[in-house]
Amino acid sequence: GENVEQHPSTLSVQEGDSAVIKCTYSDSASNYFPWYKQELGKGPQLIIDIRSNVGEKKDQRIAVTLNKTAKHFSLHITETQPEDSAVYFCAAIVGGADGLTFGKGTHLIIQP
């Protein structure tokens, strides 16, 4: 089955700086890669996703890049703000298998 690795487990950045979280996946059949933000005591909330037919997608301060050859994808957050502090999960899905495979999560801490 699919295996998703996520790094780093904790990331601390100064407010206003950029943050980058990286994930790799194992199954070349995966072709949908969502990123979820989870705040304390809440369920995961989708913040951005990318499909395998594109290499990059951007939504305001958030961007995701995908390298299918290397089987890795990354989340980029620019101009970080205190409200960006949360745990971020990457995930991948294999066609025909409906369950998302999640990475272990990155605890993003924005230092004021």
Partner 1 sequence: EPEVTQTPSHQVTQMGQEVILRCVPISNHLYFYWYRQILGQKVEFLVSFYNNEISEKSEIFDDQFSVERPDGSNFTLKIRSTKLEDSAMYFCASRQLTGRGTEAFFGQGTRLTVV
Q: Whats the size of the chain, residue-wise?
A: 112
- Please state the closest distance from residue 102 (CB atom) to partner 1, in A: 4
Residues 6+ apart with CB under 8 A from 78: 18, 61, 63
3-state class (DSSP) for residue 69? coil
Q: Which region among 10-18, 43-51, 58-66, 74-82 touches partner 1 (by CB under 8 A)?
A: 43-51
Q: Which of 88, 89, 108, 110 binds partner 1 (CB under 8 A)?
A: 89
Contact flag: residue 103 with partner 1 (CB under 8 A):
yes
C-alpha 53/C-alpha 107 separation (Å) is: 29
**Residue number with CB closer to partner 1 (4 or 110):** 4
> What's the number of CA atoms in the CB half-sphere (13 Å) around residue 81?
3
The reply to whether 7 sits near partner 1 by the rule CB under 8 A is no
- Dist. CA 97–CA 87, nearest whole Å: 25
Question: From the list 43, 60, 69, 70, which residue makes contact with partner 1 (rule: CB under 8 A)?
Answer: 43
Does 23 interact with partner 1 (rule: CB under 8 A)?
Answer: no
CB of 89 to partner 1, least distance (A): 6
